[in-house]
Structure 1
């Protein structure tokens, strides 16, 4: 049996508030809109994701999809920037 934790009334020290990073429940309900593609990946990459997926009890394809989604979100520019840039290029032609 494990040892019981003893709590005391000592000060905690500096506390840091962490912003909420979890998705809202409504974001977990709907299935994502996905498209099936065929892609050739390096054997090393696929083996890595398969090993990691096994460790974390998930599917390696799902891990790759989430990685690509995170990359896209981090590098996606708002549509307004794209359209204004395109107008500038075509305006001089």
Structure 2
């Protein structure tokens, strides 16, 4: 992209203000009922989940939760 954009003083036409129609980010969150639990995993399982999380580029806990 060696070409530079040249801006000029152009004519501005009539402006129409539109009401905000996007939901708030908090409304986009998926809500699910969750319960806290403690899980004991073997070292092999933890290493497996770590490697899967690394290959998928996601946090370890998100792999374990799903």
Which TM-score bucket, shorter chain as reference? 0.3 to 0.5
- Under a length normalisation based on structure 2, what TM-score does the superposition of the two structures give? 0.47
Larger radius of gyration: 2
- Under a length normalisation based on structure 1, what TM-score does the superposition of the two structures give? 0.36
The structure, 1 or 2, with the larger RCO (C-alpha pairs under 8 Å, 6+ apart) is 2
